Chains A and B, each alone.
Chain A
Amino acid sequence: MQLYLPVAEVSINIFLLLGIGGLVGILSGMFGVGGGFLITPLLFFVGIPPAVAVATSANQIVASSFSALLAHLRRKTVDIPMGVVLLIGGLLGAGVGVFIFNWLKELGQVDLLVRLCYVVFLGLIGGLMFVESIRALRRVQQGNTGPTRKRYRDWVHTMPFKMRFRTSGLYISVIPPLLVGLLVGLLAAVMGVGGGFIMVPAMIYILHMPTKVVIGTSLFQIIFVTAFTTILHAVTNYTVDIALALLLLIGGVIGAQFGTQIGAKLKAEQLRVLLALLVLLVCAKLALELVLEPSEIYALSVHRGI
């Protein structure tokens, strides 16, 4: 069954879009990532114009993240004060990120830099998470649980403006979470994603937040940052397709509910190995595309009038 999308101006099979939404929704619920790093390339692949794909997936991330966040709120696995601090940084970062994005667009190199960003960040984070979580799995298998909680005394604890985050059980300065939020907002705007795949590891490895709280809290921040991005895209580029978003989010919200269930059943270490493998897979595919000779070395970009 084909559907003509009013803003994208293409006709696409409904079930294909529902399926993409569902797949990304499951991942979103399982790992607490918005799934933008997956949905945007998938939309390119089915023939949606890139600008529309980036803008509309931001809107879709709001829906699937909101559905997953409600599930986390009921389980009380959201650290709201921490989320607000991350969000303040995130909005600042997104503003700067959009500025950088437009500047790169003028240079005609935005595609390349977005791809390079993907490869570098996905590779770094995927690799780091994979190594760490394999080590954690080994410890669990050897039955040598050891001290579950080390007393971290690094730079995170030496800064001023300390604040107590009860849900996370942390008493740290607000500067590190603000910086993490800023970096994520910046990358989110430049790369057209929610940024969960960067924020989740940052919360675990830099802020030392408990894994169970990390996912709900990152969803909280992602919703507001992607909503902000959606508005910016709709107002400046007219590239949000509401019909496309609706189909993706119908699949997405249903998938997110299943994902949250699966996530609750798996152990934190297993969850991290799976997410690391997924991130590395996407990274490898994008890296190959940069290195291998493309079948068509020419590309067209149409300047649509208003």
Chain B
Amino acid sequence: MRVLLALLLMLPIGLRAEEVVLGLSEDSINITTDFHGSSILIFGAIEREAPKPQDPMQVIITVAGPNQPVTVRRKARQFGIWMNTDYVDVDAAPSFYAIATTAPWDQVITDTEDVRNKISIPRAIRSVGAPMTVQDSQSFSEALIRVRGANGLYSLNEGAVEFTRQTLFRTTVSLPADLTEGDYMVRIFLTRGGQVVADYERQIDVRKVGLERWVFNLSRQQPLIYALLSLALAVLAGWGASEAFRRLRG
């Protein structure tokens, strides 16, 4: 039994004749006051110990923001007005999710492999189940993807990864201005015939820095002081403007 387990554990290692060597243009992204979006260059090479197999290799690169629970509500017309009627709680959906591939989606990966590795956008969203009153929970997940897609938060870019001589790959992922803070995961999958042959993960820290950090921390850790500070600022600005105008006139 123990020997079998050891063999099973060794099996994937034995298959990994091809490894990813990865480079990122940035290891961390600082959100400063003048932050208006960013883009990261993801590049790398494939290291081979054996000669290149005949079957062409494909590359999938994903960048995922931190997972958050999301409530999706649907409006319906009741008594002549549009109101929220049904809702579905999605347990975890990434705040940002971008996929780039070397070829059209159905050529790079099989459905089974997608289920196993949770790569495509619908698979990256985790939803346990809808309330009994909702029959079509699928349309709520679709709405989540549609709304976030329209805001540039979710994207699938087929053919956006440049792949030179089956060895060098590169792509650019642009991050929007309204970025949520947290650990962003960059994942790279190498596939052959729709099967994942190797994968690699790297983390990018997206953090507020400087004044942004200080203000954010104060608002969470000392909310009362923060509120009084906001009010003091408001009263001071009101008084200052009033005085300034009086001087101007008088």
Using A2-B36, A234-B224 as known contacts, say yes or no to A66 and B72 having CB atoms under 8 A apart.
no
- Measured CB to CB, the nearest residue on chain A to B81 is A290
Tell me whether B73 and A62 are in contact (CB under 8 A). Answer: no
| Closest chain A CB from B223 CB (angstroms) | 5
Which residues in A have their C-beta under 8 angstroms from that of B144? 298, 300
Tell me whether B215 and A7 are in contact (CB under 8 A). Answer: yes
- Measured CB to CB, the nearest residue on chain B to A113 is B83
Tell me whether A301 and B70 are in contact (CB under 8 A). Answer: yes
Instruction: Give the distance in Å from the alpha carbon of A297 to the alpha carbon of B146 in the complex.
Output: 12
Which residues in A have their C-beta under 8 angstroms from that of B235? 62-63, 66
Instruction: Give the distance in Å from the alpha carbon of A230 to the alpha carbon of B228 in the complex.
Output: 9
A-B contact pairs, 11 of them (CB 8 A): A2-B36, A6-B215, A63-B237, A66-B238, A111-B84, A238-B223, A245-B230, A297-B74, A298-B140, A299-B73, A301-B70
A102-132: which residues lie under 8 A (CB-CB) from chain B? Answer: 108-109, 111-112
Instruction: Give the distance in Å from the alpha carbon of A69 to the alpha carbon of B147 in the complex.
Output: 43
Tell me whether A296 and B147 are in contact (CB under 8 A). Answer: yes
Instruction: Give the distance in Å from the alpha carbon of A60 to the alpha carbon of B181 in the complex.
Output: 26
| Closest chain B CB from A291 CB (angstroms) | 6
Using A3-B34, A59-B231, A112-B83 as known contacts, say yes or no to A234 and B226 having CB atoms under 8 A apart.
yes
- Measured CB to CB, the nearest residue on chain A to B68 is A302
Binding site for A on B (CB under 8 A): 31-37, 68-77, 80-84, 87, 95, 140, 143-144, 146-148, 177-181, 208, 211-213, 215-216, 219-220, 223-224, 226-231, 233-235, 237-242, 245-246
Q: Return the contact of A242 from the options B68, B77, B224, B229 (Cβ within 8 A).
A: B229
Query: Which applies to chain A's interface (DSSP): helix, strand, loop or mixed?
Result: helix
Tell me whether B68 and A303 are in contact (CB under 8 A). Answer: yes
Instruction: Give the distance in Å from the alpha carbon of A63 to the alpha carbon of B233 in the complex.
Output: 8
List 7 A-B pairs, minimum CB-CB distance, nearest first. A66-B238, A11-B177, A253-B241, A298-B143, A234-B227, A63-B234, A67-B238
Tell me whether B227 and A254 are in contact (CB under 8 A). Answer: no
Number of A residues near B (Cβ < 8 Å) is 60
Which residues in A have their C-beta under 8 angstroms from that of B72? 298-300
| Closest chain B CB from A88 CB (angstroms) | 20
Instruction: Give the distance in Å from the alpha carbon of A71 to the alpha carbon of B33 in the complex.
Output: 34
Tell me whether A230 and B230 are in contact (CB under 8 A). Answer: yes
Q: Return the contact of A245 from the options B35, B211, B234, B239 (Cβ within 8 A).
A: B234
Which residues in B have their C-beta under 8 angstroms from that of A6? 208, 211-213, 215-216, 219
Which residues in A have their C-beta under 8 angstroms from that of B215? 6-7, 242-243
| Closest chain B CB from A295 CB (angstroms) | 10
A243-258 contact mask (Cβ, 8 Å, vs B): 1 or 0 = 1011001100110110
Instruction: Give the distance in Å from the alpha carbon of A305 to the alpha carbon of B180 in the complex.
Output: 11
* A44 beta carbon closer than 8 Å to chain B: no
- Measured CB to CB, the nearest residue on chain A to B142 is A298
Which residues in A have their C-beta under 8 angstroms from that of B208? 6
* A294 beta carbon closer than 8 Å to chain B: yes
Q: Return the contact of A67 from the options B31, B95, B239 (Cβ within 8 A).
A: B239
A1-26: which residues lie under 8 A (CB-CB) from chain B? Answer: 2-4, 6-7, 9-11
- Measured CB to CB, the nearest residue on chain B to A227 is B231
Binding site for B on A (CB under 8 A): 2-4, 6-7, 9-11, 47, 59-60, 62-71, 74, 108-109, 111-112, 227, 230-231, 233-235, 238, 240, 242-243, 245-246, 249-250, 253-254, 256-257, 290-294, 296-306
- Measured CB to CB, the nearest residue on chain B to A3 is B33
- Measured CB to CB, the nearest residue on chain B to A56 is B230
Instruction: Give the distance in Å from the alpha carbon of A108 to the alpha carbon of B34 in the complex.
Output: 36
Which residues in B have their C-beta under 8 angstroms from that of A300? 70-73, 144, 147-148
Q: Return the contact of B82 from the options A59, A254, A293 (Cβ within 8 A).
A: A293
Having A71-B245, A298-B147, one finds 10 other A-B pairs with CB under 8 Å, namely A10-B178, A11-B177, A63-B233, A70-B238, A112-B81, A253-B242, A256-B241, A297-B76, A297-B82, A302-B95
Q: Return the contact of A63 from the options B140, B227, B238 (Cβ within 8 A).
A: B238
Tell me whether B36 and A240 are in contact (CB under 8 A). Answer: no
Could you say which of B35, B213, B229, B237 has the most chain A C-beta atoms within 10 Å of its C-beta? B237
| Closest chain A CB from B195 CB (angstroms) | 35
- Measured CB to CB, the nearest residue on chain A to B181 is A9
Instruction: Give the distance in Å from the alpha carbon of A66 to the alpha carbon of B232 in the complex.
Output: 11
Tell me whether A303 and B71 are in contact (CB under 8 A). Answer: yes
| Closest chain B CB from A189 CB (angstroms) | 16
